[in-house]
Amino acid sequence: MPVPSSGSFSRAARYLAGGVDSPVRAGAPMGGPGPILRAARGSRVFDIDGREYIDYLCAYGPVILGHSHPAISAAVAAASQAGTVFGTTHDEEIRLAERLTTHLPSLERLRFVNTGTEACMSAVRLARAHTGRSKLVRFVGNYHGHSDGMIFSAGASANTARNGRSGVTRGVARDVIVLPYDDVAALRECFGRHRADIAAVIVEPVAANMGLVLPDARFLSELCALCRESKALSIFDEVITGFRLGLGGAQGRLGILPDLTCLGKALGGGLPIAAFGGRQAIMDGLAPVGAVFAGGTFSGNPLCVAAARACLDVIEGDVGFYPRLESLGRRLASGAQAALVKAGLPYPVVSIASMVDFMFRTGPPHRDAAQAAQADSGAYARFYWAMLDEGIMLAPSQNEVMFLTAAHTEKDVDATIGAIERALLRSR
């Protein structure tokens, strides 16, 4: 199996906490870290030993145009000549905000931040101030960043502890109600008990941090209806789905508008920019109009704004952009399913747009975190290393999905399907 050479990970561990800047990169479920990368271009990444991989990790979602896209590189280079940070409002962030509101009608006003964590944290704080209530409803397996109220019972590689050594206090945990995902009955019961105390419900409209889960249409519509009836706010965390499921995100695709929306990842095409927004009446709660603080030195950073504008330029200028991604997603999903059938493995493949996923679990597609936890982590680990041997980069956790980019080709996908077939046979 490929491993970092020259003691590079051991060296990293001497200076970086745990050898990484995000826990999932350590590859604990895989038995250790995967390759250490040096460069990325198009649909490929390259490790420090010169090995080349077709990339489906895609930095966990931001890379929608492909790595080192010339339009983004040029936009960032040009912006750097005008100034890397101002500390004031600048004209390009105004232009970007205007464009975002045309694509997402739920965004009457928005505010830029740096990360999805900040966007979700700020949206919840605003919701509590707007409603005068304290309770937040979340769902097991949904990941909304690593702020205290979001991190326990989260998806992805997050620490699921509620208190004690995790650093999350019992006081924080008392204000958060965690429910099973895609469970309308549990949601109704929750509102029946806590209707007057619920400030907001935050949800991934398509869950992509416990594998890929496409919720029943009734779940999201009922969620928004319950919020409206009780005067709580609905918050769609579209950090992953925004600009990946279409210019209108999941809400545009599904035709369901929330009160507040969180964006990130693909918005910047590979640079760190995020945003949250919603109706003006709610967003006016933010200082300086209202009393809720949300800001930062690098919020609306001109380099990241330039990258986001360039990313939108490419997408908006190509009517075939999303149809091609959808076609590649279907091609990969059907090919992966055929490979699983050939290997005698009854695992269902789930896909939407440019996200594809299968977990090492028999039966129908999983619907929540409890079912996702039934997947065979050892089998996925063997498959992960076999795929690296085949020259395919996947996430070092089967809670994450496979992402496609505009740089992937049918040839890439067909090569990947062949690699899946061989890796499944080798790793059984």
φ/ψ of 2, rounded to 5, equals -65, 135
- Give the type of residue at 345: L
Beta strand pairing call for 355-358 and 402-403: antiparallel
186: tokens are: 């549990």
**Eight-state DSSP code of residue 24:** G
Q: Active-site residue among 265, 347, 380, 412?
A: 265
DSSP for 248-270, please give it.
THHHHHHT---SEEEE-GGGGBT
- Based on the residue annotation, tell me whether 265 is a catalytic residue of this protein: yes
Max CA-CA distance within the chain?
61
Peptide bond before 23: cis, by omega within 30 degrees of 0? Answer: no
CB 368 within 8 A of CB 393: no
Q: Active-site residue among 55, 182, 183, 237?
A: 237
- Cβ neighbors of 155 (< 8 A, separation 6 or more) are 141, 142, 143, 207, 209, 210, 369, 399
314: tokens are: 């490419």
- Cβ neighbors of 98 (< 8 A, separation 6 or more) are none
Q: Cα separation of 155 and 399, whole Å?
A: 7
Q: Cα separation of 209 and 397, whole Å?
A: 10
Three-state secondary structure call for residue 109:
strand
- Based on the residue annotation, tell me whether 411 is a catalytic residue of this protein: no
Q: Active-site residue among 53, 56, 60, 143?
A: 143
- Based on the residue annotation, tell me whether 237 is a catalytic residue of this protein: yes
**Eight-state DSSP code of residue 207:** B
Closest CA to 382 of 361, 396, 371: 396
Beta strand pairing call for 109-113 and 52-55: unpaired
43: tokens are: 């649909």
Sheet holding 44-47, edge to edge: 37-41, 44-47, 52-55, 392-393
φ/ψ of 109, rounded to 5, equals -140, 150
Q: Cα separation of 143 and 116, whole Å?
A: 10
| Active-site annotation, residues | 143, 237, 265
